[in-house]
Structure 1
């Protein structure tokens, strides 16, 4: 029983450690109009990188994106893109830049989400079980739970992005409906007052002066 508890504690510790060692960077930030923001990452050679982004608020949900290598070569470039994903393998080591530009917009701020995954996640059971073969089944369960949690976290992230976009669109539509309703109410009042004034003229007594 004690050995089983020790094995369970070891697996939970490994789960927490390797979750923190993941090479994924996620960020949501606001990009003002007529501005550009760049981020950089120090990456080694022959490392697989996945870069994805999505505009979740502002304007037509579009942004200019550029990915630059250490030698200032453009690896990826798109204009007025709403969302996209790009995967590549680094040919040289150094600082890789990825920039978001909203310079084409004169008044719309943008809210942008991006995920930058560098390399492969280290195995959950790299050293566990090397000296204790009895932990193999428990380690297998920990790996299965870890993979399921990663999948759930990814689904939750994309669900939150879709919810944020839907909420922003619903608020914009609600604002338009409100303004249109106010305009119709004002038009109805103006028409009603105009009709009353015209009808009063029809029934008004005309006085003749001698």
Structure 2
């Protein structure tokens, strides 16, 4: 193999593994949790002033796929609120330092629990090591690394949303299958009872005619 080509391939693999490692080090709160009926779950985060914050949520399964969502500032001021919402995304910049509260409420539901996905990102994503120290134009390798980094972020976002849609579709299909099974079972029982009742009525009808002929008076 050409030594120059081999060196280029090695550099590409180094860049690829570097980007993967950086993705593992990226800090973000992303979780899926169960929200019981008549329940309220809150999450607390200490955030500095002038920090960009992004909240994204989606109800994966449960009831009519709706929850109440709110974000409170350290002064208890509600800066964001949604009522019986299935999914949404909200971005804002903090005006003060302190503890911000994100709450999910299912208090309006009396029998159905929900499974909720939440992605809470605080601050901008850190740049790749050494990029911010540049005083000159980035090299082609560094530019490629940045592009790969952005592409991997997009891939992760797409994968997350497709997994949520797949889980939601699977749950709906399972619920539909269960309803069809119960409806079919009820129809089977009704048809069986109707058939048994018809046989019983016809049998009694012929038995009654036979008895009438047996006890008919002789002339």
Q: State the TM-score, normalizing by the size of structure 1.
A: 0.88
The unaligned stretches of length 5 or more in structure 1 are none
* Contact 1:14/1:124 (<8 A) preserved: no
Q: SS at the partner of 2:76?
A: coil
The 1:113/1:145 distance shift into structure 2, 3 A limit, reads same
The unaligned stretches of length 5 or more in structure 2 are none
Report the Cα offset of residue 68 of structure 1.
0.6
What's 2:58 paired with?
A: 54
Q: SS at the partner of 2:139?
A: helix
Q: Does 1:172 pair with 2:175?
A: yes
Distance (Å, rounded) in 2 between the aligned partners of 1:40 and 1:17: 28
Report the Cα offset of residue 116 of structure 1.
0.9
**What is the correspondence of 1:76-91 to structure 2 with a 5 Å cutoff?**
76-91=80-95
Report the Cα offset of residue 189 of structure 1.
0.5
Q: Does 1:187 pair with 2:185?
A: no
- Equivalent in 26, 31, 36 of residue 32 of structure 1: 36
Report the Cα offset of residue 146 of structure 1.
1.4
* Contact 1:129/1:136 (<8 A) preserved: no
The 1:6/1:185 distance shift into structure 2, 3 A limit, reads closer
Distance (Å, rounded) in 2 between the aligned partners of 1:131 and 1:162: 44
- Equivalent in 150, 153, 168 of residue 150 of structure 1: 153
* Contact 2:30/2:118 (<8 A) preserved: yes
Distance (Å, rounded) in 1 between the aligned partners of 2:57 and 2:116: 7
Report the Cα offset of residue 158 of structure 1.
0.4
What's 1:68 paired with?
A: 72
Distance (Å, rounded) in 2 between the aligned partners of 1:184 and 1:198: 21
Q: Does 1:112 pair with 2:116?
A: yes
Distance (Å, rounded) in 2 between the aligned partners of 1:64 and 1:130: 46
Larger Rg: 2
Q: State the TM-score, normalizing by the size of structure 2.
A: 0.85
* Contact 2:19/2:148 (<8 A) preserved: no
Residues 79-111 of structure 1 show CA distances to partners (whole Å, capped at 9, x for unaligned) of 211111111110001111101111111121110
